[in-house]
Structure 1
């Protein structure tokens, strides 16, 4: 029988420790540091990239690729330890609300009946007003308080009043909003989908849900790279069409829009971000051949953003040359099999003699890098922010409580007034004498 009280005391001590303000602050600091690590380290990339980046030069001089992957730092926000921190913080907020905020709200809603002046004298702000007719002064005080928006509970010789009780709801709403936000963030990480696709103009992509059913089709009509005078990319713009291909026949248009960097498109729970760009294909003519559109591939060994292809110049596939370029505007550099630069071609310009054959580049087809992201937790995240903001605004309201007792004696009467305030007590202490002066002036 004695084990039950002991277990209860242990649970209470554990709940008190989890909901301690210092523990919550420590959790927030750890979560902030973890978020910074997730920003500094590329997330959800192939393992080879981490070995390429951190095998020779460990991150911060401490963590090589294997250690970094073991600690799940390649996917911080979906790692088990980060989600565990979020769950811990959410539990701390719930326990804090249960142990502190909810009792505080209940106490604010409960009317306290002070019956003697001695009880009032022990409160934070207390004052007595001489009065020949203390009962009449009490009635005038009641009227003034009601006119100023106070809730008043009146007895024959005393009253209790309160204002700003909604301020006690504020901290509860802040905690509730943060918990909803944390749930939404975790749900988005666990149930969300993320994919990046490079799409060339005139091509389309079927979007498939988790059950393998086609949702709609994404078609790219045009893609444009805006560059500064030095040729550096400044902005990317994609003209998109979303088509319903669930019916037989021609797909029907659902939405047509332009996306660019920092201006995504949201449709049916999917967000389309303009994330990157690439070069998809090059159109070349070798000798008297027809214009051929050939796919381009990246060449990291030549540079960060360099595309190209190996093009044979003989029917038997011999005498290849390497075409490389870093922009859809060109120029296209031509290298021989020995790595020697043969020359450069302007896109749409004059041909270049290569291995006794004229080689001409008629066009380069850029590709739009579109990031598709489905986050089912977004409504909860937005709702959590809204609830927390409303709670924060309500928390600014000061909760004030006031009591008054009319004491009539044969010699002289007195009106005893006292009050409490959870915020800006100095202002309340200044307002109380002004209020009593209005009561006193009403006797004239």
Structure 2
């Protein structure tokens, strides 16, 4: 007998698969506990300089794109492939095996067996057993075996492939993860724009055509412009953010090709790039909309505190002289307002709410909003379709592997005096207890 290849013996080992799964699970826990893709100062401040340097050496701060984690995934994939190729031929032979090729001795060795005597001629007994097989949903085949008649049928032989469907789905998921890895895109494909994760801090009213790649800090071109049209935020009564939303436009060659909104758990995808709402940054600048109601004349400005703003067309000057804030978020603003006729108006206005400024001969409508920058995470993952497809395939494979079984049913009929002796045998590779119950019910129908 030829000696088995050492490489195949190693990678066909179930023990190796369990070991690799344990290592992958342990490292994944580490990657979950330690925040990923933050700036170096974050890790120095939280863990200290030495630990942060150790994290950097092992690339733990971007663990799922690190060379060693991808190597573990590669070894696990190789293990799955070799295991499957090593065992699959035997399973295929079992599925393709002619069920009538079994001898009476082999049939009598099956774990489920029962013998009955039927008061009928052999031909009649064979037809009754065949009818019972057919009525119960089995498709029997018949052969003569050493003076006995063998009726044999099987169901679900293909269910033995369920575990290999699961193996294949895992490989598809891993391939999809590798395709979507920024490390693979940059260091193997040498195309950083093929797959990446980055961030944008985009002020209201501005546009960008690039994102900042996580960790590397390099600019990655989007291939289009993303414009922040508006940012809105709602707060709870205690001042904590309740929800925030970015209204954006996508521009190509200076033209708007799409408008949309980005909210927490409601991303926006365009040309394979998905934008997630991740943060925001309030600025100490304010967007002012001032309208003279008499004739509808309007002006819009971006202003800061302690700045006098002139509106020559409307004959008005105004400014922000004070503010009430909670942290960086402004709640109220104190406004100085003059149209050169009488004493200036001084009043408080809530940010985002309309205020009417009544002067001697007209009324002005004033709305002031605090300016924000929206923090977005941008992800381009061309392998995500494979990952989702692999997950669906895995569910199908798990269902087949755990809930379906390969069942075989046999009947050996031989003359016995004035009647026939019928020996029934059966087997199932899974859920044998359930099949034993059906096996008994099957025979009882013949007896009664």
After TM superposition, the score normalised by the length of structure 1 is 0.75
> Residue 130 of structure 1 corresponds to which residue in structure 2?
117
CA displacement 1:331-363 (0-9 Å, x = unmatched): 79xxxxxxxxxxxx98779xxxxxxxxxxxx75
Cα gap change, 1:160 to 1:223, in 2 (>3 Å)? same
- Paired with 1:238 and 1:216, the residues of 2 have a C-alpha distance of 18
CA displacement 1:68-124 (0-9 Å, x = unmatched): 211211111011111111112212222222223552243133123366543322111
1:379 equivalent in alignment to 2:358 = no
CA displacement 1:239-262 (0-9 Å, x = unmatched): 1222332xxxx5142x32222111
CA RMSD of aligned residues (A): 3.4
Match runs of 1:162-181 below 5 Å: 162-181=154-173
Match runs of 1:308-387 below 5 Å: 326-330=327-331, 364-387=370-393
Displacement of 1:49 after TM fit?
A: 2.9
> Residue 236 of structure 1 corresponds to which residue in structure 2?
244
Structure 2 unaligned segments of length 5 or more: list them. Answer: 186-194, 212-217, 286-302, 312-323, 334-347, 356-367
Displacement of 1:390 after TM fit?
A: 0.9
Contact in 2 for aligned 1:120/1:416 (Cα 8 Å)? no
Displacement of 1:280 after TM fit?
A: 4.0
| More strand per residue | 2
> Residue 289 of structure 2 corresponds to which residue in structure 1?
none
- Paired with 1:419 and 1:76, the residues of 2 have a C-alpha distance of 51
Displacement of 1:369 after TM fit?
A: 0.6
- Paired with 2:79 and 2:19, the residues of 1 have a C-alpha distance of 12
Cα gap change, 1:147 to 1:269, in 2 (>3 Å)? farther
Q: What SS does the corresponding residue of 2:100 show, helix, strand or coil?
A: coil
- Paired with 2:307 and 2:44, the residues of 1 have a C-alpha distance of 44
- Paired with 1:434 and 1:347, the residues of 2 have a C-alpha distance of 79
Contact in 2 for aligned 1:138/1:404 (Cα 8 Å)? no
> Residue 401 of structure 1 corresponds to which residue in structure 2?
408
1:161 equivalent in alignment to 2:156 = no
Q: How many aligned positions are there? A: 373
Match runs of 1:197-216 below 5 Å: 197-206=200-209, 215-216=223-224
1:81 equivalent in alignment to 2:82 = no
- Paired with 1:103 and 1:281, the residues of 2 have a C-alpha distance of 72
Match runs of 1:140-289 below 5 Å: 140-156=128-144, 157-189=149-181, 190-191=184-185, 192-206=195-209, 215-245=223-253, 250-253=254-257, 255-282=258-285, 283-286=303-306, 288=308
Contact in 2 for aligned 1:152/1:159 (Cα 8 Å)? yes
- Paired with 1:142 and 1:155, the residues of 2 have a C-alpha distance of 12
Contact in 2 for aligned 1:135/1:406 (Cα 8 Å)? no
Cα gap change, 1:212 to 1:117, in 2 (>3 Å)? closer
Match runs of 1:13-24 below 5 Å: 13-17=9-13, 20=14, 22-24=15-17
Residue from 25, 36, 43 that aligns with 2:29: 36
Displacement of 1:214 after TM fit?
A: 6.2
Cα gap change, 1:346 to 1:130, in 2 (>3 Å)? same
Displacement of 1:36 after TM fit?
A: 1.7
- Paired with 1:242 and 1:285, the residues of 2 have a C-alpha distance of 32
Q: What SS does the corresponding residue of 1:45 show, helix, strand or coil?
A: coil
Contact in 2 for aligned 1:76/1:82 (Cα 8 Å)? yes
Residue from 408, 421, 426 that aligns with 1:414: 421
CA displacement 1:357-391 (0-9 Å, x = unmatched): xxxxx753111111111011101100110111111
Q: What SS does the corresponding residue of 2:180 show, helix, strand or coil?
A: helix
Displacement of 1:330 after TM fit?
A: 4.5
- Paired with 1:16 and 1:194, the residues of 2 have a C-alpha distance of 36
> Residue 53 of structure 1 corresponds to which residue in structure 2?
46
Cα gap change, 1:413 to 1:34, in 2 (>3 Å)? same
Q: What SS does the corresponding residue of 1:234 show, helix, strand or coil?
A: strand
Q: What SS does the corresponding residue of 1:417 show, helix, strand or coil?
A: strand
1:99 equivalent in alignment to 2:86 = yes
Displacement of 1:207 after TM fit?
A: 5.0
Runs of 4+ in 1 over 6 A off after TM superposition: 210-214, 345-349
- Paired with 1:128 and 1:369, the residues of 2 have a C-alpha distance of 76
Residue from 429, 437, 446 that aligns with 1:439: 446
